[in-house]
Amino acid sequence: MPEHESRRGNPLSPAGVPDNMFPDPHIKIFVNPDTGRENMYVYVGHDEGRGQFIMRDWYVLFSEDLVHWQCRKSLRREDTYLPPDSTDCWACDAVRSPWDGRYYLYYSHGGESTGVAVSDRPDGPFVDARGKTPILPKGITPTNSYDPDVIMPDEEDSRAWIVFGSDWTDHYWAMQLRESMTEVVPGSARKVPVYPDEETQEELRGPLRSDQAEAFRYGDRWYLYWAGRYATSKSRLGPYIFRGNIGADIPHYPDGRAFIDHGSFVEWRGQWFYAVSCGTESWSFRQSWLMYLHVCDDGTLMFDEEIRQYGVGQYDAAWDRIQAEWYMAIDAPALRKIELRRDGKHTGFAIAQETGTQEARYPHVYGMGENLRMTLRLQGEAGAEVEVLCDGKSAGRLRLTEALPELTEVELPLVHDGGEHELTLRLTGRLVIDWFRLRP
DSSP string spanning 41-63?
EEEE-----SSS--B-EEEEEEE
Task: Assign a CATH topology to domain 315-439.
Answer: Jelly Rolls (2.60.120)
Inform me whether the pLDDT recorded for 3 exceeds 60.
no
Q: What's 236's DSSP letter?
A: T
DSSP per residue, 346-386: EEEEEEEESSSEEEEEEEEEEEE-TT-EEEEEEEE-TT-EE
Which amino acid, residue 417? D
The pLDDT tens digits of the residues spanning 196-233 come to 999 988 887 765 556 789 999 999 999 999 988 999 99
DSSP 178: P
- Per-residue pLDDT at 254: 61
Helix (H) or strand (E) holding 224: strand 221-226
What is the pTM for the complete model shown? Answer: 0.96
Query: What per-residue confidence (pLDDT) applies to 2?
Result: 46
d(CA 126, CA 359): 39
Judged against a pLDDT cut of 50, whether residue 109 lies above it is answered with yes
* Residues 323/349, Cβ–Cβ less than 8 Å: yes
Looking at residue 75, its pLDDT comes to 97
Lowest mean pLDDT among 57-61, 244-248, 379-383, 403-407: 244-248
Helix runs in 201-355, H state only: 305-310
pLDDT of residue 247: 82
How high is the pLDDT of residue 6? Answer: 46
Closest CA to 181 of 153, 215, 217: 153
User: pLDDT-derived band of residue 253, with 50, 70 and 90 as boundaries?
Assistant: low
Q: Which tens digits make up the pLDDT trace of 355-395?
A: 999 999 999 999 999 999 999 999 999 999 999 999 999 99
Right CATH for 5-310 from 1.25.40.10, 2.115.10.20, 1.10.3720.10, 3.40.50.300? 2.115.10.20
Give residue 395's pLDDT: 98
Domain with CATH 2.115.10.20 in the chain: 5-310
